[in-house]
Structure 1
Amino acid sequence: MTAGENSVQSKKCIPDLAPLEAVLFDIDGTLCDSDPLHYIAFCQMFAEIGMEVPDDEFVSKNIAGKHNDDIAAILFPDDIPKGLKFMEDGEAKFRRLASENLPSIKGLYKLTKWIEDRGLKRAAVTNAPKQNAELMISKLGLQDFFHLVIVASDCERAKPYPDPYLKALQLLNVSKDHTFVCEDSLPGIKAGVAAGLPVVD
């Protein structure tokens, strides 16, 4: 965990949430090890247009966990339509890669069983496009695990704003005082904390 991530962590502890009602999950990088696939897709896209691949620091600060519209504006500030097309094509490449191999994070199915055994409500809350979210959930075999899936296009504002997590709370009809979030990126962590939820990174 970076210093920046640590600074936005909620001070509420998991035991304080009892009785626990729900768990909200990010997808990319949280449920599955998808970051290497995104990187491969980006490398291929940059190579096709003759651009240098950004370094890890740039990716971490400006790309990881952000909504595609925001990434497009960062990469192509003078040509947003080109940036949006770049992102769209990159996501298509990612889906082809993910359809072949998408490793789950270690311990994922122990966690999902623990949640199911306790009858907790659960939602996936992601900045990923709907097609990506559906593919990743399907490849992980979690179609029947989640009660609902919230993608960025379902909300007026994507992460790092709290809107996606607030929408999940509303639709699940659960209290933020008895729900926690599993996240991996700084925008996602900020969104969870802004929604008043403790975040497990």
Structure 2
Amino acid sequence: MPVTESTGLLAQLAPLEAVLFDVDGTLCDTDPIHYYAFREMLLEIGYNNGVPVDEEFFVRNIAGRHNDDIADILFPDWDHEKAMKFMDDKEAYFRKLAPEQLRAVNGLHKLCKWIEDHGIKRAAVTNAPRPNAELMITKLLGLTNFFQLVVVGSECERAKPFPDPYLKALEVLNVSREHTIVFEDSPSGIKAGVAAGLPVIGLPTRNPEELLTRAGATFLIRDYDDPKLWKALDELEKAAAS
């Protein structure tokens, strides 16, 4: 497979120092569970005159966003405490559903082994609440010992789509943005990575490809088994060796 201009850009990052992963939709396909939880809970309160929200509404207003922002979009007339109570209840419902339904994105553990074998630093950078992130990373994906750091948007001054969570990861890991890559699945997350000055590889797990490209993704892969990714990593290895 020939190296495209976009995938070839990864070779310029050699030697690679760090890989930063989003969690929801990037490590595992969580959007169907989040969508189901939102749809059912919004139905219970008669949202949208009792008409279930569709997936287009979910992608446009919810996917990849921080809970504070989602609450503002869904409930502009509610007081903050009431809106956040709904969000907290929804996250608890998600954690109840997740163990039966979550699966890692194809090829994830293969990529994680490659990263470990090459001694590359790694962090999870997410807008998910910490209990969600820790449940997915440790109990559901078996990556307890893989990540050296988990950065949560709500624990930064600003969450994604602002760059703060990614900038914090760079600072704590003590790595250079010129030698770090990001994996993301949402426009919000891609915008955050790009704003931090990082190349972002996009996974259109559930979000339309054109939205990820428009947000600034360097290139897209279908999953971590995608030959395009491994060709790019091979070129990066060759660049580091030379």
- Normalised by the length of structure 2, the TM-score is 0.76
AA aligned opposite 1:120: I
Flag structure 1 segments of 5+ consecutive residues without an equivalent: 1-9
Distance in 1 of aligned mates of 2:81 and 2:53: 20
Specify the alignment match of 2:69 in structure 1. Answer: 70
Report 1:19-58 matches (<5 A).
19-51=15-47, 52-58=51-57
Shift of 1:56: 2.3
Q: Could you say which residue in structure 2 is the equivalent of 1:165?
A: 166
C-alpha offsets along residues 5-61 of structure 1, whole Å, 9 cap, x if unaligned? Answer: xxxxx9982111000000000000000011111111112211221223322222212
Q: In structure 2, what residue type is equivalent to 1:140?
A: L
* Shift in Å, 1:191: 0.2
In 1: Cα distance, 2:135 partner to 2:168 partner: 22
What aligned pairs does 1:38-187 form with structure 2 within 5 A after superposition? 38-51=34-47, 52-79=51-78, 80-138=80-138, 139-187=140-188
- Distance (whole Å) between structure 1 residues aligned to residue 146 and residue 28 of structure 2: 15
In 1: Cα distance, 2:148 partner to 2:24 partner: 18
Moved more, 34-43 or 53-62: 53-62
Q: Decide which structure has the larger Cα Rg and report it.
A: 2
Cα distance between partner residues in 2 of 1:61 and 1:169: 29
Q: Which runs of 5+ in 2 are unaligned?
A: 1-5, 203-242
Deviations 1:155-201 (A, max 9, x none): 00000000000000000000000000000000000000000000000
Find the aligned partners of 1:101 and 1:58 in 2 and give their Cα distance: 22
In 2, Cα distance between equivalents of 1:11 and 1:30: 19
2:181 is paired with a residue whose SS is: strand
Which runs of 4 or more aligned residues in structure 1 lie more than 6 Å from their structure 2 counterparts after TM superposition?
Answer: none
* Equivalent pair of 1:76/1:82 in contact (CA under 8 Å): no
Deviation (angstroms), 1:75: 0.3
CA pair 166-12 structure 1, distance change in 2 beyond 3 A: farther
Instruction: From the superposition, tell whether residues 120 and 187 of structure 1 become closer, same or farther in structure 2 (CA, over 3 Å).
Output: same
Tell me if structure 2 keeps the 8 A contact 1:11–1:198.
no
Q: How many angstroms does 1:87 deviate by?
A: 1.0
Alignment coverage as a number of residue pairs: 192
Q: State the identity as a percent.
A: 67
Q: 1:120-144: per-residue Cα shift (whole Å, max 9, x none)?
A: 0000000000100000101100010
Distance 2:83 2:58 in 1: 15
Deviations along 1:100-151, whole A, 9 cap, x unmatched? 3311001111110111110100000000001000001011000100000000
| TM-score relative to the length of structure 1 | 0.92
Q: Secondary structure at the match of 1:72?
A: helix
User: For the Cα contact (< 8 Å) 2:35–2:58, is it kept in 1?
Assistant: no
Distance in 1 (alpha carbons) for counterparts of 2:169 and 2:150: 8
**2:3 match:** none
CA contact (8 A) 2:35 2:55 kept: no
